[in-house]
Structure 1
């Protein structure tokens, strides 16, 4: 029996959601994305849950979207939940890619950001590309000292991942360097630029995150929900929502350009090519 792509456990007032594809550094296929959606809904509906913790099994939080594991399932249909775009699986070209990514990337992440309970990301090892999206929808990020953050998709000719929060989670000039180089950012540097709340030693990551979650869980549920909504609204007034819409269009312009001029919509950059580029 295959392992569940997401594990769910409630410990008192804290729901723990754990991405469970450690063999592939928790690369996100559609099965994992929809399992995460189920887990977020479950926690949202449980009156005993006050706070959620999102983590990754194994050595890494998430290496990003699944672009080449044996369980890659981008071509398969799933029941759509995040928007009203049609099924992508029987379409071609931009009509397929835009519909799918509107659903599983931008749409899912936006909805998870609005979950009216605090969510804490507990990050170790790689938090890359699509992994950033999952960490950024969380309200707080606790990172271990060995964690690193990167968005290398400019190597594909694409201006960042679909949930384009870069200029809001870090200063614009830092965001430009982060994207232009594709270089990994250490946990300490991420803390210095305000992207991460706390940096702890690896052995203390789980306990430190749990301690923070329990402290927050002692606050009134409605007070937490309204406070989260207030800060999210402030971000949106600073242009986050509209900015993501505009960059999502640029993202798909890049995919279309690659499809016409390169080997595929990813510019020919498969897992091996991306790994080689990031270490050269």
Structure 2
């Protein structure tokens, strides 16, 4: 029996319990283990490692494998290729619960809420994972991928990586998530118009633990992982559980409940004639056409000023 099973104090059932580990190589996540360190690589580089049902099921299966292995003390999470992740995959097929629910399916409020809970609880389980986790971020770390990195205990980023929210930048992100952020960083983040910030700037704002040049990223993550491996297993597990319980008092668990409701509310938005509706534009112009239209609408005055500065 794994140590993790003997010392289990989670307030809810971990979603990895219901995701089986095939015990072999997976298509959309790569599991590697060297000594006490496991590395889980989200493996869909042709689409910049999006968050979709395929990648997340394999990713969570890898987390379960690492959880059940008593030798593993630290899990490093990374993306294959040049990017950490491109966020939710809105090109996912109908029925994929990690994409917005198409209105053509005529979902009820209960449908929305159930899907949102199953979708968002995966991030919560990463945050409450009983072993140390490090997000190793290079290239793009956008949208839901940014949330995945933030759910890890530590984030080490390349200086030229960039974090952000396509379309609305950081303006709509974080109102119900402030307890999860470092002291004062939420004020800085909510007052920014930039669509993306670099890894170096994220370090200065306290949003990541460390930013280093790209060619030093692997070595820096290894250094942190080896240091964390020195923590006794039971002390690490109980310490993480204690810490999670303490910051729950600041409302962290409540932020996840409100996250579900926020997503549900956004799904029910009625768009005005001068606003872009993804479903209608995608239906009429295809997904690429939607991206082009979104680019025109996304903080367009800021886009124009940025273009002038770069030009």
Q: Same fold (TM over 0.5)?
A: yes
Aligned residue number for residue 84 of structure 1:
none
Larger radius of gyration: 2
Task: State whether structure 2 residue 23 is matched by structure 1 residue 11.
Answer: no
Structure 1 residue 129 corresponds to structure 2 residue 119: no
Post-superposition Cα deviations, 1:146-173, rounded to whole Å, max 9, x if no partner, equal 1111123647xx9438x96355325232
**Partner deviation per Cα, 1:30-86 (whole Å, 9 max, x = no partner):** 111111110111110111111000000111101100012xxx1351479xxxxxxxx
1:25 equivalent among 48, 63, 87: 48
Which whole-Å CA distance do the structure 2 matches of 1:73 and 1:233 have between them?
Answer: 38
Taking a change above 3 Å as real, the CA distance of residues 77 and 186 of structure 1, as seen in their structure-2 partners, is closer
Q: Is the 8 A contact 1:259 1:267 kept in 2?
A: no
| C-alpha spacing 1:175/1:13, structure 2 compared with 1 (3 Å) | same
TM-score normalised over the length of structure 1: 0.81
Aligned partner of 1:218 in structure 2 is 230
- Cα distance in structure 2, aligned partners of 1:36 and 1:5: 8
Higher alpha-carbon deviation: 266-275 or 188-197: 266-275
Equivalent residue, structure 2, for 1:239:
251
> How far off is 1:272 after superposition?
3.7
Specify whether residues 223 and 126 from structure 1 end up closer, same or farther in structure 2 by C-alpha distance, changes over 3 A only.
same
CA distance in 2, matches of 1:216, 1:146: 25
Q: 3-state SS of the aligned residue for 1:199?
A: strand
1:100 corresponds to: 115
Q: Following the alignment from structure 2 to structure 1, what is the Cα–Cα distance between the partners of residues 247 and 295?
A: 33
Q: Give the equivalent residue in structure 2 for 1:53.
A: 76
Over the residues paired in the alignment, what is the CA RMSD in angstroms?
A: 3.1
1:251 is the counterpart of 2:263: yes
CA drift at 1:206: 1.4
In structure 1, distance between residues paired with 2:280 and 2:225: 41
Cross-structure match for 1:73: 93
Please name the residue that 1:187 is paired with. Answer: 199
The structure-2 alpha-carbon separation of the partners of 1:260 and 1:268, relative to structure 1 and needing over 3 Å to count, comes to same
Q: Does 1:145 align with 2:159?
A: yes
Unpaired stretches in structure 1, ≥5 consecutive residues: 79-89
SS at match of 1:257: coil
Aligned residue runs from structure 1 range 110-125, under 5 A: 110-125=124-139
* Secondary structure at 2:87 match in 1: coil
Q: What is the aligned length?
A: 261
C-alpha deviation, 1:98, in angstroms: 2.8
Distance in 1 (alpha carbons) for counterparts of 2:212 and 2:248: 30
Segments of structure 2 that go 5 or more residues without pairing to the other structure are 1-25, 99-104, 283-289, 305-311
Cα distance in 2, alignment partners of residues 240 and 185 from structure 1: 24
Question: For the residues of structure 1 that align with 2:71 and 2:59, how far apart are their CA atoms?
Answer: 19
Q: Does 1:43 align with 2:66?
A: yes
